[in-house]
Amino acid sequence: MNIDLRGIYPAFLTPLTSDRKFNPAVAERMIDHLLQSGIHGTYVAGTTGEGLLLPAEERRLLVETLAHSLPKDKKLIVHVGASQKQDAFKLAEHAARHGAHAISSLPPKGDSSTVMSYYSELAAISPLPLIVYYFPKIAPHAFAEPEKLIDVCDLPNVLGVKFTDFNFYLLQRLVKRGKLVFNGYDEALAAGLLMGAQGGIGSTYNVMPEVYLSIYRAAAQGDWNQARRLQIGVNDVIETLLKYPFFPALRAIMQKKGLDCGPLMSGEQLPSDASRQQLLTEFEQVTQRLQSESRD
């Protein structure tokens, strides 16, 4: 597992056509747009990318499209979690065949023994290193005790964890054990980096990747005052977004940038055109303040 995956990874917003099919043309333009900011790679088909709602064929096409579009020095992490574990195993093998650098997966439903068994099988069958997806808010029973997460991360071929939680003590313990840890909550990237996380994966990285890269670089230089100041500005943006249905809000902002991601598989949308316009106005105002502060 001699691979360097440290860095900033937008959780890719899967673009869809009006009839909810994967849109490769927009995906290629989106990844080009994100690469211009200097991101280290992307994380696809996770919660943000609605991977669990996409048909397997569409997920495979998504991986193939992005693998073809990424330069050799950029990394692709593929979420392969599925309702049936055999589907996850097949997606892992597909990701490896098409040039991905690592796989990831949310835990299955069930108790700790079920979760351990699943990750053990997935890690063993995968030709690529595995990034466990720790997200107790949506999978509260998967790791009933923190030690269970540590046990899973100690499995062979488990490189690390996408850590979407505010338990930074547990995050630090994983880092201390030599694991690669991606901070998962966008609003706490600076805190995660302070406690040893080696990168971040996030939804709002799509709409302001440069700022997250600035936080990452400030942390790498030990400039924690700057990292904290930028994080506070980022959190003002997140607070604005959370006033609206979150994922439709992200897609509306990307459309404003000229990248129409289409509808969500879930069907969720902004309540009205007036709501959309208000969102865009508020987003522009708060990001302008953030950009001004970043230059100070």
> What's the start-to-end Cα distance of the chain, in Å?
41
Which positions are catalytic?
133, 162
The H or E element spanning position 85 is: helix 85-97
Among 212, 230, 282, 296, smallest CA distance to 253 is for 282
Question: Which pTM value belongs to this model?
Answer: 0.96
Q: What is the CA radius of gyration of the chain?
A: 18
CA dist 5 and 226 (Å) reads 24
The 10s digit of each residue's pLDDT in 57-101 is 999 999 999 999 999 999 999 999 999 999 999 999 999 999 999
Task: List Cα–Cα distances, 104 to 120, 134, 226, in angstroms.
Answer: 13, 10, 31
The candidate with the shortest Cα–Cα distance to 115, out of 133, 92, 96, 103, is 133
Handedness of CA 103, 199, 34, 1 (dihedral sign): negative
Q: Is it true that domain 7-221 has CATH number 3.20.20.70?
A: yes
Model confidence pLDDT, tens digit, residues 151-183: 999 999 999 999 999 999 999 999 999 999 999
Sheet order of strands, 130-134 included: 7-10, 199-202, 180-183, 158-163, 130-134, 102-105, 75-79, 41-44
Per residue in 257-282, pLDDT (tens digit) is 999 999 999 999 999 999 999 999 99
Give domain limits for the chain. Answer: 7-221
